[in-house]
Amino acid sequence: MKIFLYTRKVDMDHFEYINQWVEFLIRRGCQLFVQENFLSINLSYSPWREYFQVVSENNQIEDVDLAVGIGGDGTLLELSRFIGNYRIPIIGVNTGRLGFLSVVQLHQAKESFEWILNQEFEIEHRSFISIAQSDNEEAIFPNALNEVVIVGYPHNTMIAVHAYVNDRFLATYWADGLMLATPTGSTAYSLSCGGPIVSPDTNSFIITPIAPHNLNVRPLIIPMSQKVTFIPESREGKFMMNIDGQGHLIHSGARIVMERAQNELRLVKLKGSDFFDTIRNKMGWGFDQRN
């Protein structure tokens, strides 16, 4: 099996575990690929250094069987962008804090890889949002796995965003910002802004206002088959569009059109892994200290 390892930077106290399952994978005949900074920063002293193949472009991993993100959910988001349109299954080994996407704990990784090598896993499909600016065809944006957020720039002041669903007017949101989130993103920023938790197998978008000033608007769930358009306006004339945390400057009156992307994230789901277990264990969902 060909496996691509991706990370930002790993703490030194994690290397005992990483070296254990790297050794396990090599002894099982796996070919390991790493990006150059991973090798130079994290694995420069690894006894298995000579077994790693260094890649710098994503076309060097197009025939990889599995991509592994080592870190938190942010690392997995970066990995999904690096993979692009290649249909490579990915799994996250969590060295961060919460980790809704990176569900494998570091000390359990060796056992999890054994399941994968024995084909004891399923593939869970997670949808992306494709983003285009209809009044500027030259603008190219990456797909969003979690959410697309429009806020004011350079100051985070109240803005107006006209929202349309399938070109039908929905409402004008007077708020600090407005976002469109996926079910994957429902446990991220959208949740912090009062949005609902949505099961990842639900084909839905969530329109979530950020600190709305018109109190008669609330988060709205719509089918993912719908096209959503945001048109922001403000006195400053500029806005920041954050795509999974990456900022892109847009102007007042820009028409941001968002749809379900054609490609999907292929997330490895191991036996015993369940979305409802995750929100219960990581969020304390339904926990009552009286019981």
The pLDDT tens digits of the residues spanning 25-84 come to 999 999 999 887 666 655 666 666 778 888 888 888 889 999 999 888 888 988 998 888
Residue 15 in this model has a pLDDT that exceeds 80: no
- Name residues whose C-beta falls within 8 Å of residue 21's C-beta, 6 or more positions apart in sequence: 109, 110, 113
Q: Which CATH number fits domain 2-119: 3.40.50.740, 3.30.2010.20, 3.40.50.2300, 3.40.50.10330?
A: 3.40.50.10330
The CATH H-level superfamily of 129-261 is Probable inorganic polyphosphate/atp-NAD kinase; domain 2 (2.60.200.30)
> Phi, psi at residue 249, to the nearest 5°?
-80, 130
> How many angstroms separate the CA atoms of 109 and 112, rounded?
5
Name the pLDDT band for 272 (thresholds 50, 70, 90).
confident
Percent with pLDDT over 70 in the chain: 94
Structure tokens belonging to residue 269: 């789901």
Residue ranges, CATH 2.60.200.30, the chain: 129-261
**pLDDT recorded at residue 17:** 80
Q: Which two tokens stand for residue 65?
A: 């069987």
CATH 3.40.50.10330 domain position(s) in the chain: 2-119
pLDDT of residue 23: 86
- Checking 48-54 for CB contacts under 8 A at 24+ apart, the result is 48/19, 48/22, 48/23, 51/26
pLDDT digits (tens, 9 = 90+) for 145-196: 999 999 999 887 899 999 999 999 999 999 999 999 999 999 999 999 999 9
The CA distance from 171 to 128, in Å, is 24
Closest CA to 29 of 51, 1, 6: 1
What's the mean pLDDT in 207-223? 94
> How many other C-beta atoms lie within 10 A of the C-beta of residue 7?
23
DSSP SS3 for 280: helix
Q: Is residue 73 flagged as an active site residue?
A: yes
Query: pTM, whole model, 2 decimals?
Result: 0.89
Q: How confident is the model at residue 217 (pLDDT cuts 50, 70, 90)?
A: very high
| Catalytic residue chosen out of the listed positions 13, 73, 277, 288 | 73
pLDDT given at position 73:
86
Q: What percent of the chain has pLDDT over 90?
A: 57
Instruction: Give the range with max mean pLDDT: 6-15, 48-57, 115-124, 264-273.
Output: 115-124
Least confident span in 55-69, 97-111, 215-229, 230-244: 97-111
User: Taking a C-beta distance cutoff of 8 angstroms, is the pair 137, 146 a contact?
Assistant: no
